[in-house]
Structure 1
């Protein structure tokens, strides 16, 4: 399929920090996600899958904004714990891999997947994108980020396949990290009709005042 692929020319820098807004330590909600929430509301979209939900910060955020949220991860212990502590009963939680999404075709208005899809080998990334495409409704939004090959940690650690390393990022030494080029990203999303990509640098300040940089592509792909 021929798609419209637009990518920003310049890298834009954003600051993030650790907050306990929902009663547990989490990274603050990014400008990208806030902007996309507003866009989804404008479109009248309601049904969202938070794929690779982790602690549940985005699931809780979108639930509070009135969306019908489905949250999933390979291990849902953290989000289960947090929604119970917050007495949230209307988030649908399902434990599964992102390469095998157990929902019907054309089910979701949007799929959100942050800091997740690059933790895989290429065949898994391709499979995950195919699965997301399948479960999205026509004109549905795939909202995600993926590490750029311009990130400072690119090339660090052991390369297990092309542009995929283990041991490249502090605190995630045993987790694979795939680093994507602009050309590869366009190819990965060839099923989608319209794609907008922003080049983003996030500076995360932790509770000890340490600052960590991350260069990633922030992507909105429309089915």
Structure 2
């Protein structure tokens, strides 16, 4: 078990409790306008299952993944889904999803692994599928309290993503962290479409 997964394994209940009630409405609204009615969404790194449950309630079909076993159990209980215990690197879908929701999860992928992970994500999307990504603004990679973080600027994330010729950027925005004591953290949000 790598150190980031171990961190979440040890703090699963605490992490789920602190993130469960974060208001994600703005991001939901921007994302779902691109997803066909009753479309199929992949929630990757689903954490507590907060977002998966929202999408289910909106009538979407949802597949949720989470690399941390304890969070898989929490999310499965919360959503009623059989949450898959897997990682970005092990994704093996092909033209299956109308949307992929990647909220605060890609930031744990080391830079060197990003090209293959992005290819996995794009391969998993159907034609005209939508990909939402949120990451922390910054530069470089750091281990913070046992978790690996890859930080991004708007420019370097877009540049990294658009190396894959099958996608294009359709929206980007920023917000501060909604959690108590985290207001200095800036989150970058992106929506890409698979259009080739």
Asked if Structure 1 and Structure 2 have the same fold, meaning a TM-score greater than 0.5 normalized by the shorter chain, the answer is yes
Larger-gyration structure (1/2): 1
Cα 1:125–1:200 shift into 2, 3 Å: same
1:127 aligns with 2:99: no
Q: Of the candidates 158, 162, 168, which is equivalent to residue 194 of structure 1?
A: 168
Q: Of the candidates 150, 154, 177, which is equivalent to residue 149 of structure 2?
A: 177
CA shift for structure 1 position 92 = 4.2
CA shift for structure 1 position 57 = 0.4
Larger RCO (alpha carbons 8 Å, 6+ apart): 1
Q: Answer yes or no: is the 8 Å Cα contact 1:113–1:145 preserved in 2.
A: yes
Q: Answer yes or no: is the 8 Å Cα contact 1:54–1:76 preserved in 2.
A: no
Q: Of the candidates 93, 96, 99, which is equivalent to residue 107 of structure 1?
A: 96
- Ranges of 4+ aligned residues in structure 1 off by more than 4 Å: none
Tell me, what secondary structure is at the counterpart of 1:196?
strand
Q: TM-score, normalised by structure 2?
A: 0.78
Structure 2 equivalent of residue 118 of structure 1: 107
CA shift for structure 1 position 77 = 2.7
Q: Of the candidates 33, 43, 52, which is equivalent to residue 59 of structure 1?
A: 52
CA-based RMSD of the aligned residues comes to: 2.3
- The unaligned stretches of length 5 or more in structure 2 are 1-15
Structure 1 equivalent of residue 142 of structure 2: 165
CA shift for structure 1 position 215 = 1.1
Tell me, what secondary structure is at the counterpart of 2:134?
strand
- Determine the C-alpha separation between the residues in 2 that align with 1:129 and 1:76: 23
User: Once the two structures are superposed, what CA deviation does each residue of 1:47-89 show, in whole Å capped at 9, x if it has no partner?
Assistant: 00000001110111111111110000112433433543x5x54
Cα 1:185–1:45 shift into 2, 3 Å: farther
**Matched length:** 176
Identify the structure with the greater strand proportion. Answer: 1
- Determine the C-alpha separation between the residues in 1 that align with 2:142 and 2:30: 30
1:219 aligns with 2:190: yes
CA shift for structure 1 position 45 = 5.4
- Determine the C-alpha separation between the residues in 2 that align with 1:164 and 1:40: 32
Identify the structure with the greater helix proportion. Answer: 2
Tell me, what secondary structure is at the counterpart of 2:129?
strand
- Determine the C-alpha separation between the residues in 2 that align with 1:74 and 1:205: 22
- The unaligned stretches of length 5 or more in structure 1 are 1-22, 155-162, 168-172
